[in-house]
Amino acid sequence: MPKVTIDGISIEVPEGTTILNAARMIGGEIVPPAMCYYSKLKTSGGYCRTCIVKVSKGSDKDPRPMPKPVASCRTVVMDGMEVENITSAEVLEARAGVVEFLLINHPLDCPVCDQAGECHLQDLAYEHGKEASRYEFKRREFEKTDIGDKVQLHMTRCILCYRCVKVADQLTDGRVHGVINRGDVAEISTYIQNAIDNDFSGNVIDVCPVGALTDKTFRFKSRVWYTKPVDAHRDCPHCTGKVRLWYKGDDVARVTARKDKYGEVEEWICNECRFDKKKTSDWVIEGPTHVDRHSVISANHYESIRALKASIERQKKSLPHGTKVGLGQGALDPNNPN
Ligand code: SF4
Ligand code: FES
């Protein structure tokens, strides 16, 4: 099995593993961000360049470094390869440049965007971006395309990651949407105003990393951080029926697939579960979802608030009587023992 070293951590991985997946096997901060790669979708990746890394040693056989940053989601590990991600200032600078490019044509309308709080571009810009753009020219604008009553397309927010196109290709029969045109007029669209409507088409909402494809049945109903995610299942004839319910008060405001720590869907769900089962009585509730991503959803999450209260109580007990207790770093982390 080839051995690769990423940011000083070595791991042996099966033949054919990409650098990104090797990093995911190690886990933690060294995992490069990925805006277009999606492990559940074949041939995804290679479009956005957010996952770039520096290969400082090609392999034991040919130790020459690769001449420029490479897309880790598309570069296969070679035996003896050495890779730098967060340990390379050059990579971080290049990634900031990629983010700046992605934001050139992305409107900064987070305050009114339904995806705010679970938008990967928002997180990426926060973690890797610069505070200002140098772009001064006119941005892309699009005519609105109606793609049906369940999914809202807001093309100005699209970063052309192709994930929704892969979903349409690989999950649904009779694909009716894709990328049309080229260059700065390339857009996601249905050819001649077709409605996107088949059993699994709603999954395009879950894979879209930004707010370009959103759920019309949830639009403007709530900010996501005011909702409570709960895992639930039902006996569904079309899919596994394993979903996440997003409660606002006692109402199910939205149904989505469950996502893993990289924001990827664990199991695809059908449109019946997603759009038509919005009553608690439709579901068997399993319990609150554990939100461990850096998203703002976790900041208002009741699990974390319990941990926060427990943490404050622990701090209070360990301090001299009368000392005031503030919120220390890590207080919101339920795994934080301090
Ligand atoms: S609509 Fe969303 S999922 Fe589709 S290409 Fe654009 S950003 Fe990607
Ligand atoms: S995640 Fe690798 S190029 Fe987009």
Q: How far is the C-alpha of 230 from the C-alpha of 239, rounded, in Å?
A: 18
Q: Which ligand is nearest to the CA of 120?
A: 1
Q: Is the CB of 46 under 6 A from ligand 2?
A: yes
Ligand lying nearest the CA atom of residue 20: 2
CA distance 63 to 329: 42
pLDDT at 305: 61
pLDDT for the residue 93: 95
In terms of DSSP bridges, do strands 81-84 and 177-180 run parallel, antiparallel, or are they unpaired? Answer: unpaired
Q: Which of 149, 58, 55, 139 minimizes the C-alpha distance to 103?
A: 139
CA 93 to chain centre: 22
What per-residue confidence (pLDDT) applies to 333? 46
Q: Would you kindly state where each structural domain of the chain is located, as residue ranges?
A: 3-100, 113-133+141-215, 224-288, 301-338
- 50 alpha carbon – ligand 2 mean position (Å): 6
Secondary structure E strands in the chain: 3-6, 9-12, 52-57, 70-71, 81-84, 151-153, 177-180, 187-190, 213-215, 228-233, 242-248, 251-257, 284-288
How many residues would you count in the chain? 338
Angle, vertex CA 168, rays to CA 231 and CA 238, nearest 5: 45
Q: Quick check: CB of 161 below 6 Å from ligand 1? A: yes
For ligand 2, the distance from its centroid to the CA atom of residue 273, given in whole angstroms, is 30
**pTM for this entry:** 0.85
Note whether 53 and 84 are within 8 A (CB).
Answer: yes
Cα 328 to Cα 307: distance, rounded to the nearest angstrom: 13
Tens place of pLDDT per residue across the chain (338 aa): 999 999 999 999 999 999 999 999 999 999 999 999 999 999 999 999 999 999 999 999 999 999 999 999 999 999 999 999 999 999 999 999 999 999 998 988 889 999 998 999 998 998 898 878 888 888 888 888 888 899 999 999 999 999 999 999 999 887 788 898 888 889 888 876 677 778 899 999 999 999 999 999 999 999 988 899 999 999 999 999 999 999 999 999 999 999 998 999 999 999 999 999 999 999 999 998 887 655 666 555 555 566 667 767 777 777 766 655 444 444 444 444 43
Which ligand 2 atom sits closest to the C-alpha of 72?
A: 2
Query: Which of 41, 163, 179 should be mutated for ligand 1, with most atoms under 8 A from CB?
Result: 163
Atom of ligand 1 nearest to the CA of 207: 3
Pairing of strands 213-215, 187-190: unpaired
pLDDT at 232: 97
Question: Which CATH fold would you assign to the domain 113-133+141-215?
Answer: Alpha-Beta Plaits (3.30.70)
Q: How far away, in angstroms, is 240 Cα from ligand 1 center?
A: 25
Question: How would CATH label the architecture of 3-100?
Answer: Roll (3.10)
Query: Rounded to an integer, what is the distance from CA 318 to the centroid of its chain?
Result: 39
CA distance 304 to 291: 9
Please state, in angstroms and rounded to a whole number, the distance separating the CA atoms of residues 37 and 201. Answer: 19
Nearest to 163 by CA among 207, 219, 112: 207
Contact 100, 40 (CB under 8 A): no
Closest-CA residue to 172 (of 208, 200, 130):
200
Q: Which residues of 203-226 are buried (b: 16+ CB within 10 A; e: fewer)?
A: bbbbbbbbbbbbbbbbeebbebee
Backbone phi and psi for residue 278, each to the nearest 5 degrees, phi listed first:
-115, 25
Determine whether the shortest distance from the Cβ of 98 to ligand 2 is under 6 A: no
- CB distance 34 to ligand 2 below 6 Å: yes
User: CA quadruple 325, 329, 333, 338: dihedral positive or negative?
Assistant: negative
Cβ–ligand 2 contact at 52 (below 6 Å): no
Determine the pLDDT at residue 147.
87
Q: Ligand 1, atom 3: nearest CA belongs to which residue?
A: 208
Sign of CA dihedral 248, 250, 252, 256: positive
